[in-house]
Structure 1
């Protein structure tokens, strides 16, 4: 009796598997902005905070996987520009993971005993500096923002130039990252909405990774999707 061997895991199947990660990351990023609890001490011990920040932690991890898939799909054509965008954008979410981890697991138990520290930590993002000196946390968060800005622009521009993935969401990603500094001029509760275009761009690009067009195989330097083999 003969048995049919299962096809081996291929590089293309692994890249396609990153598509749902990018989609979910984009959905969370865009979806939590209207419902995110205020970044103040009174919020960190509430159920909405626990739910939203848990989603943010998943989002950060999924963004790193999805960004890797986007780069590897087109790395033969993205060049050094694409590599720089991949490294910076991934580093942004890697650093962000640490802050979100603290928001989820460190701040809630500290809120009753050291509200000053929690207030100072949240002051990094809510633009209301707290009473305590929290060392390099504020400076590193500023570096994180620069990585987000530069990484998003470079990743979007290199994806447009590579011509492997759809251009419209790639342009959306680059433009949204470029306009992010302008959001500082808005009230904090409105700044979050600047993240929605980036989330939508990742949803679109995630579907392009997961369900690649057959024409992708004709693009030199692109990894051939399984559907064309």
Structure 2
């Protein structure tokens, strides 16, 4: 099996779509986060899926950007770097949650509950160390990166524009969570998840014909040429 630009691009589309499904799926019937829940098998499974979602998302948006690197221009590059950074940080945080917090939940449940309070936007009762900085960085790069990257994809007009617009809107929609305390904050993952599914499918489908695959490979050769 030969590895081509077209096959990698289609794979990136599948990664993005799968990430969107996971992003929505892990929110379904999610128990309240606390130290007791962190010691359960369900927590470990959900955390593992969140780590996988982060990895797939990074692969997906990389394929999206490279597929339209010239049309996306500087906004596309800035958006991709910010959005990619957010997924790197989020994956790191979720990995810490998967392998570190279950152990700490037994020896220092107060710290773990404080970490979860930070994630849920609740008042903190102690020092979180570097976790607080990571969480702020993840939120800032996700909001800014999702907005700029979504706008760049919309302007490029290569992938589904409705999905690009939804990505931009869904990324910043979480800003209104503090204003709607009666609404389950996990519902705000749905727009971004649907956007990733739509963009991933659009990326996969954009190379569904031999002519499109040839054009993609030709464009990639031009971009890589000195």
Taking a change above 3 Å as real, the CA distance of residues 127 and 182 of structure 1, as seen in their structure-2 partners, is same
Look up the match of 2:95: 101
**TM-score under structure 2 length normalisation:** 0.88
Deviation at residue 135 of structure 1 after TM alignment: 1.9
Asked if residue 22 in structure 1 is aligned to residue 37 in structure 2, the reply is: no
Q: Which residue of 1 aligns with 2:127?
A: 133
Mapped partners of 2:208, 2:25: distance in 1: 31
Give the number of equivalent residue pairs.
216
| Deviation string, structure 1 residues 56-91 (Cα, Å, up to 9, x no partner) | 010011110001011011111000100111111110
User: Contact between 1:126 and 1:188, CA under 8 Å: does it hold in 2?
Assistant: no
How far the C-alpha of 1:178 sits from its partner, in A, is 2.5
Q: Does the 8 A contact of 1:36 with 1:49 survive in 2?
A: no
User: Is 1:65 the equivalent of 2:59?
Assistant: yes
Structure 1 range deviating more: 193-202 or 130-139: 130-139
Structure 1 SS opposite 2:65: helix
**In angstroms, what is the RMSD of aligned CA positions?**
2.2
CA–CA separation in structure 1 for the residues paired with 2:118 and 2:13: 32
- The TM-score with structure 1 as length reference comes to 0.87
Q: Take 1:131 and 1:189, find their aligned partners in 2: how far apart are those partners?
A: 24
Which of the two has higher C-alpha Rg? Answer: 1
